[in-house]
Homo-oligomer: A and B are copies of this chain.
Amino acid sequence: MNSDYLDTERQDNMRMLAESAQTFAIKVSPLTRARGLRGSASGFDRGFWGKLAEQGWTGLLISEVFSGYGQGFGEMAAVVSALATQVAPEPVVPALVFASRVIENTGNADLQQQLLASIVAGELIPGVAWQEELAGLQVNLMANAVVAAPTNSGIQLTGEKHHVRPGADCDGFVVTAKQGNDLSLWWVPANAAGVKVKSVALADGTSEASVHFNGVMLDESQRLAQGEAAMAAFTRAYDEALVMTSVELLALQKVMLNMTLEYLRTRVQFGKPIGSFQALQHRAVDLLIQQELTSSVLSQALVMLDDGDSNVLERSAMASRIKARASDAGLLLARESIQLHGAIGFTDEYDLGLYVQRALVLSAWLGNALAQRRRYAQIANLSI
């Protein structure tokens, strides 16, 4: 265990950051805001993104070398958790964890300097275009159908990626492509010729995209990394995104359980609060257990991320493990919270639905519980 993490000063700072992020989120991102943005053109608010930048949170994870604040995942988790508690629809994990971390993990200093500084400033919202399966039981981190191939006029990028977030108003993509037998990583602006973004509406009112690269011409300067370095940089950011998505899922779990408990305590049927019925009590307990399992594993996962030099396989195993637990628990809480509420839990005007829909989205994103368990099994076999 990283002794840093037990460092009292850091603990205090993290607590303060969590409190201020919570205060900010409740004030600046009330549920009415999330509600209002559902189904809107981009599904989120660039103005709000600017406020995140003002808080310094768009650069929280980015190292000082690139004008960021060089904070750890524990700190980032405090911000991510606060925003998730308010179901803020902004693509914080997709852009500020997943995409930013791929970029930061790679070695193209010019591109890093340029992109990361814009990200810190809140001017650039990037996404990662990596996934080629539309559906199915496993995830595959290697690119196959999207290819970067040499032509007479230069390198050309062709193929389609799915499940890219943000699904609209994304400024550019970190793209994983097959080059020869290697994985390569490219930066492709959204407005590059040949890029076609098809937004796909998601359950929670945000969107993801299927991005078609139709012979997009690439310049060497756009290459972030290639070969083992590319796979290492991408895998690391993917693992980090898994953990931070689990942070969001835990925040959702907590709100759903709290809403449900509050309802159980106050809703009266047959002359008693329904929370006095033992069958419902025991089901609520099972939800608590899942939430606390998520929370316990997540603590260890965050420590491991902050303890940067952990074994790669251990890190990936841990990341898949927490995403599996957080996703399953998130969906269980979503379903059971509706059930324990009864009819009202199924109405749109009751806020529970906002959390249920977000839990659906996040449990599926980056690979659901089953896909993560299968990845875990593969990794466990490698490391036996």
Contact = CB atoms under 8 A, between A and B. Distances in A.
A277 B279 CA distance: 8
Contacts of A282: 279
A97 B281 CA distance: 48
Interface string A280-313: 0110000000000000000000000000000000
A278 B281 CA distance: 10
Interface residues of A, number: 5
A237 to B, nearest CB: 39
Interface in A210-232: none
Contacts of A278: 277-279
A70 B216 CA distance: 79
A282 B279 CA distance: 7
A279 to B, nearest CB: 4
Interface in A118-171: none
Contacts of A277: 278
Nearest to A276: B278
Contacts of A279: 278-279, 281-282
A278 B278 CA distance: 5
A84 to B, nearest CB: 32
A8 B319 CA distance: 65
Nearest to A282: B279
Interface string A244-279: 000000000000000000000000000000000111
A108 to B, nearest CB: 50
A346 to B, nearest CB: 22
Nearest to A283: B279
A104 B233 CA distance: 70
A274 to B, nearest CB: 11
Nearest to A281: B279
Contacts of A281: 279
6 contacts: A277-B278, A278-B278, A278-B279, A279-B279, A279-B281, A279-B282
Interface of A: 277-279, 281-282
Closest 5 CB pairs of A and B: A278-B278, A278-B279, A279-B282, A279-B279, A277-B278
